[in-house]
Amino acid sequence: MADVNERDAKLIQYLSEAHGKERELETALQAHIAMTTKDPYRKRLKEHLKETKRHARDVERRIKKLGGASQLTQVTQTAVGKAMAAAKGPLHMIRGSGEQEKMLKNAKTDYFNEHEEIATYLAIEVFAEKVGDRETAKLAKAIRRDEERMAKFLEGQIKQLSKAVVSEQIPRAQTNGGRPSGRAKKSSGGTRKKSASKSSGRSKASSRSKSASRSKSGGRSKSKSKGKSSGGSKAKRARKPARAGKR
């Protein structure tokens, strides 16, 4: 490595790690594409393989611009990465007991790798911004967004393929679609709700009848009191002329 300061040396280190991972994933993606029979999934893997190769070239170019010993870094990291991927390739071919399960396990592996790359480029982006290297920060951010989009796609594939494994390997009687117990629970819950609503309706009706009877009794008592008071006033009025006659 040529004479570089501490800042650029650390950037070259982080970028070299990212470059090695990109080269490793090229081989892994090629193996997964060969195993994928689902057309939309296969197409997206091919697109991401092109993105991965472009990422590796862009990172390598940035390492050179920073003055790193890119030739040695590329040879070392690429050799290690490709050796690891080549060793994993045959294992991927025998994973799972069915076609859907093999694709599911590959999707899980790719999903894991994408998040590792997201973390790597996020660290490079933040570090580069902190030390004032805008070009490296911009590159890391752009690559990170590509990886995030791929991770989002893989998340959807994992959900779909998990359901496909159920359809492929699990008898219908052992799935939710073949169990009537869930419906029975729902119906029992519905009857409970209905009985509860009926009892609440009865209690409301009884309370209404009680309030109505109370209001009627209150009205009768009021009418009686009014009658007594009016009768008493009439009697007082009749007594007054009788007293005047005595005088």
Calpha distance 232→88 (Å, rounded) = 110
Sign (positive or negative) of CA dihedral 114, 115, 116, 119: positive
Cα 118-84-160 angle, rounded to 5 deg: 55
**Nearest CA-CA partner of 45 in 98, 140, 109, 88:** 109
What is the greatest pairwise CA distance in the chain?
A: 142
Model confidence at 190, pLDDT cuts 50, 70, 90, reads low
Q: Which domains does the chain have, with CATH numbers?
A: 6-171 (1.20.1260.10)
Residue 71: predicted pLDDT: 46
The fraction of the chain above a pLDDT of 90, given in percent, is 53
Helix axes 6-35, 39-65, angle to 10 degrees: 160
SS3 annotation, the chain: CCCCCHHHHHHHHHHHHHHHHHHHHHHHHHHHHHHCCCHHHHHHHHHHHHHHHHHHHHHHHHHHHCCCCHHHHHHHHHHHHHHHHHHHHHHHHHCCCCHHHHHHHHHHHHHHHHHHHHHHHHHHHHHHHHCCCHHHHHHHHHHHHHHHHHHHHHHHHHHHHHHHHHHHHCCHHHCHHHCCHHHHHHHHHHHHHHHHHHHHHHHHHHHHHHHHHHHHHHHHHHHHHHHHHHHHHHHHHHHHHHHHHHC
Residue 131: other Cβ atoms inside 10 A: 15
Q: How confident is the model at residue 4 (pLDDT cuts 50, 70, 90)?
A: confident
User: What is the rounded distance in angstroms from the CA atom of residue 16 to the CA atom of residue 68?
Assistant: 9
Q: Sign of the CA dihedral 225, 226, 228, 229?
A: positive
The structure's pTM equals 0.65
Q: What is the pLDDT of residues 31-90, one digit of tens each?
A: 999 999 999 999 999 999 999 999 999 999 999 999 986 544 454 555 555 555 554 544
Instruction: Encode pLDDT of 100-145 as tens digits.
Output: 999 999 999 999 999 999 999 999 999 999 999 999 999 999 999 9
Query: Of 184, 32, 6, 156, which is closest to residue 96 (Cα–Cα)?
Result: 32
